[in-house]
Amino acid sequence: MSSLADRIGVLGEAGPLYRRVHDALRSAIENSLLKPSDALPPERDLAADFGVSRITIRKALDSLVAEGLLTRKQGAGTFVSGRVEKQFAKLTSFSEDMVSRGRKPRSEWLLRASGTVTPDESLTLGLSPGTPVFRFHRIRFADDQPMAVEYSTIPGFGLPSADAVVDSLYVALSDAGMRPARALQRLRAVLVHGERAKMLRVEPGAPALYIERRGFLDDGRVIEATQSWYRGDAYDFVAELSARA
């Protein structure tokens, strides 16, 4: 099999050597020559293949790790991290986000059930305690990589039944004429432990983004309350900011 350096071709001619290796690997990732979760060859092989020193390779990899394109796993090596960029201002679903990036969305069900509003939820959803709701707890995957653990609560009036949600919650809500028209979102950095770390396939204590979304219908009713724990190494939120008020 041809080496990675062979497949990448010649390095650029301008700038420091480590930068040229960095740029070559970066475009290999951008052009899907290297795919999410792919392991990179060991540093000494890369050095031999590119005809540069190991220090140069190490420096190039360090900067790609700092940019979030590569991830180092202790004892296992260096991998393409498969980050996904999310436009923060767009009200899209997980499935849509993944498909638009050429990834295949998939979910593992933890819970799909009907119940009634808890006192805590009644504030978030603006419903009286005891009102019927549906609960959907899922591990969300892009291809075979776990991206998020997500707990959604939908008021009973939003869906015909819990089984209405098959692959995408937003498809089921659209079918019922209940897709949120706008949403409020709050996020913060957290560390994940225990079961949640296991489900995301990260080390206990790894960083994650905790996001709460409250989705509203045009008439102002809350149609969705979702808590998500996104893997810190898998998601980039991009927001467009304007200086105009």
**Residues near ligand 16G (CB under 6 A):** 93-95, 105, 150, 152, 168-170, 211, 213, 224, 226, 228
What is the C-alpha separation between 170 and 161, in angstroms, rounded? 14
For residue 221, the 8-state DSSP code is -
**DSSP 3-state of 232:** coil
Task: For the CB of residue 52, give the shortest distance to ligand 16G in the complex, in Å.
Answer: 41
Nearer to ligand 16G, 71 or 152 (CB): 152
Task: For the CB of residue 35, give the shortest distance to ligand 16G in the complex, in Å.
Answer: 22
Nearer to ligand 16G, 18 or 235 (CB): 235
- The residue type at 120: D
Nearer to ligand 16G, 78 or 226 (CB): 226
Nearer to ligand 16G, 24 or 148 (CB): 148
Contacts of 187 (CB under 8 A, 6+ apart): 209, 210, 211, 212, 237
Cα-based distances in Å from 17 to 14, 50, 54, 78, 177: 8, 10, 12, 20, 56
Task: For the CB of residue 196, give the shortest distance to ligand 16G in the complex, in Å.
Answer: 16
Task: For the CB of residue 218, give the shortest distance to ligand 16G in the complex, in Å.
Answer: 18
